[in-house]
Structure 1
Amino acid sequence: MCSSERSSGLQPSVVPGSDPSLILELKTRRPVSLEGRAGCETWSVDFSPDGAWFAWSMGHGMVWVVAWPLDSEESQDDGDDRADKSFSCGEPVWGLAFGPRPPKSPAASHNDTQKGNKKGNRLLLATGLENGVIKVWNVRTGNPLFDLHGHEGVVRDLVFPQNGKLTLVSSSRDRTLRIWDLNQKGSKVQVLSGHKDWISCCCISPDCSMIASVGRFDRMVCLWSLRSFTFIRNLTGVAHRTFYLLASCHFSPDGALLATAAFNGSSWWIDLWDPYTAEKLTTLVNYCEIYGQNQISAIQFSPDGLHLAIVTEERALRIWKVGQKGMVMQTKEDRGSNGLCCNFHPQGGVVATGTRDGHVRFWRVPRVVPSLCHLCRHALRHSVSTHQMEPLPIPRRILEYLTYRNVPERLQTPDDAAPEEEDYGDVAPSS
């Protein structure tokens, strides 16, 4: 854990947690005159793909990047390369993302070594600004590389694909998504239009075939092809109710599920969809029935796909099991500082949440040992779509499991939940 000696000047301070699940909190040291004023929000947080770095937008145009874990000996041994860094963007930062993913093949890693590149020299940080500009930084050196121009409104979300390519997807309040080729410093860009209002969130499927985006007020959950840059479908077009406001979306790690958080005028809903067939598989929870009308700010699947993190306006973090068990963890409410975003560590076990006051909290989240069934499903669904799965000559029960159709149509609260079906599959972690 990071020691309090690092909390000097503009660096974050570390507050040990009193809650069993709270690990620490990073707080910015602002002048009293700036506390609580507009512009200090943490709109976005992210871990690097290898989990070695953490970044958050601390407000007032500043982004802070720290080596993870905070007490890592490697960060001390590597000198300036692993030192904490601050990036001054000049405008409020609404979205940020690390990328690209490190090369998976030994050949790619060998090529980097032959060229004299240190581990992590390819690591970039993209920051989306309020004026529509995207700034791209070299994380190791802390230097700006280039700017991307084209958006005419706030750049709300940024995401890199998981295939290691220098491609960046951005969504904006100008109602468009843009796909940038960073090999050419953004001179080659694809523009996706179709939303009728602000785009509040976007995500890329793990197989890098689809982009999902949600419009804040246009009642649309759109799927786009990342291969042909064309519109595929609108998921809400087949829903049994009309959405009024859409807040967030996220693909499961195997790409077989898409979670969306939406408000229909009286209730918040979290739905799980099959992105290939546009079928709504289940409603995870009618949030207002249980917790009242607390706005959902962000949702994200855990790296193993077994849990879903939900951040709400009263700063509470709730972890739900994507099955019949329902909620497995809930933090204390704190209405004095609204929650805005969340992000899991790539190896799991920790989730970071950002708040309206510019702070970040790190929570210890449940660890489970996935069942063999779940691991097989995860590996298969990562490369096989629902349409390819359905014609296979396999027993119906196995097909339902592989396509997540064995999940009940509506998941209950923990108090009312039925016993978990054994074929869903996880076992408690060993001590």
Structure 2
Amino acid sequence: MEAPPAEARRQRTLSESEAAEGEPLLVAELKPGRPQQYDWKSSCETWSVAFSPDGAWFAWSQGHCVVKLLPWPLEGTEQNCKPLERKTLCVKTEARARGGAKEKTLECGQIVWGLAFSNWLPSRSRKYILRAPGTSCLVLATGLNDGQIKVWEVQTGCLLFNLLGHQDVVRDLSFAPGESCSILVSASRDKTLRVWDLSQNGKQLKVLSGHVQWVYCCCISPDGHMLCSAAGEKSALLWSMSSYSLLRRLEGHQGCVVSCEFSPDSALLATASYDTFVILWDPCTGEQLRSLCHIPLQSALDHGSDFHASSLRSVCFSPEGLYLATVADDRLLRIWALELDSPVAFAPVKNGLCCTYFPHGGIIATGTRDGHVQFWTAPQALSSLKHLCRNVLRGRFTTHQVLALPIPKKMKEFLTYRTL
């Protein structure tokens, strides 16, 4: 796979002064309170971080077999942000304060690799859950080193389920959205994905086999129709969430695919690989729409397509779907605008392993090998009316349905992201 020509890259890149204006600012940092230990029982890496869907909680797998549950925003973060960012941070703060939310420590007993939140509606038999009948319960699933999945109630810190079945590390977790929020998918180094149903007391519904290497990640599309999984292979797999059958294999990377995420409208899929490329796909057709070359800008201009930077670790979409964030081994967080070939902002993240956006935008959390979490301001843009319309339409219609509409070709290209 070749990088875009240097001249084209120059023409489509923001100037250095413009990029500097959007440079992310570090607004908070979390560090483990325990001494650094490097034996396998207390590995200190932060392999996963997650915000709850409403933005009121932050989960941090800080190493040492421990997960921290922290009310958001963290103390002091508001003072470090600009007015617009401060307003974004404080969503749900007043309601959370009335509920008396307090920091919690979850002792998982094993190294924690994957985290996922869900608003689950428990059955009446779960009497120890502190919720009125018929109301949802915020839960956190943790994927562990020995193959266990432990599901916790956030408000009380109580263990609800211990799901057994995987034979190796549970690397990633993803809950289905909406009314299917009791469905949990797990990805493991045992080369399988497993589907669980919390509404049936954590019953295992399906084992998905198709990968021949460790499965690194999994994500369910926001519309709940598709599941993507990526392993130590040069391809990603797309599955149906209704039949749990394999839909297609996405081939195009030249290295192990280690991270994947759907856009908020489910119309795009981003995959990140050790080959230093992010590829944007149309998951409905399997078409590769474009690729982002993850190399330092000046090095790209000087060395052309022969220069490769360090391996990618993580990719995530911004909540409105206009930006991508990536973390790589070259100690940089990059933020990309979808329509540009080069990043619009950089931040120095040492030994970064993961990244995720705050649900309401404006903040990116990054986790590192030494157990730290850093919170960075992120560029925010008001979505155009065209983009808002595209989000609404693509949240309901597939690419095939859009292409069948009696509308001009240019509109079809915009709605299917062919104009990127």
- Normalised TM-score (structure 1): 0.80
Q: State the AA in 2 paired with 1:97.
A: A
Q: CA deviation at 1:118?
A: 10
Partner deviation per Cα, 1:148-202 (whole Å, 9 max, x = no partner):
0001110000011121421101100111111101111222421111001111111
> 2:412 aligns to what?
399
1:85 to 81, 104, 128: 104
Unaligned stretches of 5+ residues in structure 2: 1-22, 76-92, 123-130, 301-306
- For residues 305 and 77 of structure 1, the distance between their equivalents in structure 2, rounded to whole angstroms, comes to 32
Q: Out of 386, 411, 420, which is 1:373 matched to? A: 386
Preserved CA contact (<8 Å) 2:41 2:111: no
Q: Distance in 2 between matches of 1:203 and 1:344?
A: 15
Q: Which amino acid aligns with 1:78?
A: G
CA shift in 2, pair 1:75/1:277, >3 Å: closer
Deviations 1:271-296 (A, max 9, x none): 11111111101112253764842111
Q: Would you say the 8 A contact 1:101–1:162 is kept in 2?
A: no
Matches within 5 A, 1:83-122: 83-100=102-119, 116=132, 122=137
2-side partners of 1:20 and 1:351: how far apart? 9
Q: Once the 2 structures are TM-superposed, how far is the Cα of residue 220 of structure 1 from its aligned partner?
A: 2.3
* Matching residue within 151, 160, 180 for 1:136: 151
1:375 match: secondary structure = helix
Aligned residue in 2 for 1:249: 260
Q: In the alignment, which residue of structure 2 is the partner of 1:49?
A: 53
What displacement does 1:78 show? 3.0
Separation of aligned partners in 2, 1:101 and 1:323: 36
Q: In the superposition, relative to structure 1, how do residues 151 and 332 fare at CA in structure 2: closer, same or farther (>3 Å)?
A: same
Quick one: which of 216, 228, 234 aligns to 1:219?
Answer: 234
Query: Quick one: distance in 1 between partners of 2:361 and 2:277?
Result: 25
What does residue 321 of structure 1 align with? 337
CA contact (8 A) 1:49 1:101 kept: no
CA contact (8 A) 2:309 2:330 kept: no
Separation in structure 2 between the aligned mates of residue 271 and residue 354 of structure 1, nearest angstrom: 23
- The ranges of structure 1 where at least 4 consecutive aligned residues each deviate by more than 4 angstroms after the TM superposition are 32-38, 72-77
Question: Which of 306, 312, 322 is matched with 1:296 structurally?
Answer: 312
Matched, 1:235 2:258: no
Q: 1:235, CA displacement in angstroms?
A: 1.0
1:196 to 212, 215, 220: 212
Structure 2 CA distance, aligned partners of 1:77 and 1:392? 49
TM-score calculated relative to the size of structure 2: 0.82
Aligned length in residues: 364
Counterpart CA distance in 1 for 2:36 and 2:243 is 51
1:185 is aligned with what amino acid? N
Given that 2:295 and 2:308 are in contact with CA atoms closer than 8 Å, whether structure 1 keeps it comes out as: yes
Tell me what 1:348 maps to.
361
Alpha-carbon distance between aligned partners in 1 of 2:348 and 2:39, rounded to the nearest angstrom: 23
Q: SS of the residue aligned with 2:343?
A: strand
Q: 1:283 aligns with which of 277, 280, 291?
A: 291
In 2 relative to 1, CA 161–333 (structure 1 residues): closer, same or farther, beyond 3 Å?
Answer: closer
Q: Residue 76 and residue 382 in structure 1: after superposition, are their counterparts in 2 closer, same or farther (change >3 A)?
A: closer
Corresponding residue of 2:160: 145
- Structure 1 stretches lacking a partner, 5+ long: 1-18, 104-114, 408-431
Q: Which has the higher contact order (CA 8 A, sep 6+)?
A: 2
RMSD (CA atoms):
2.3
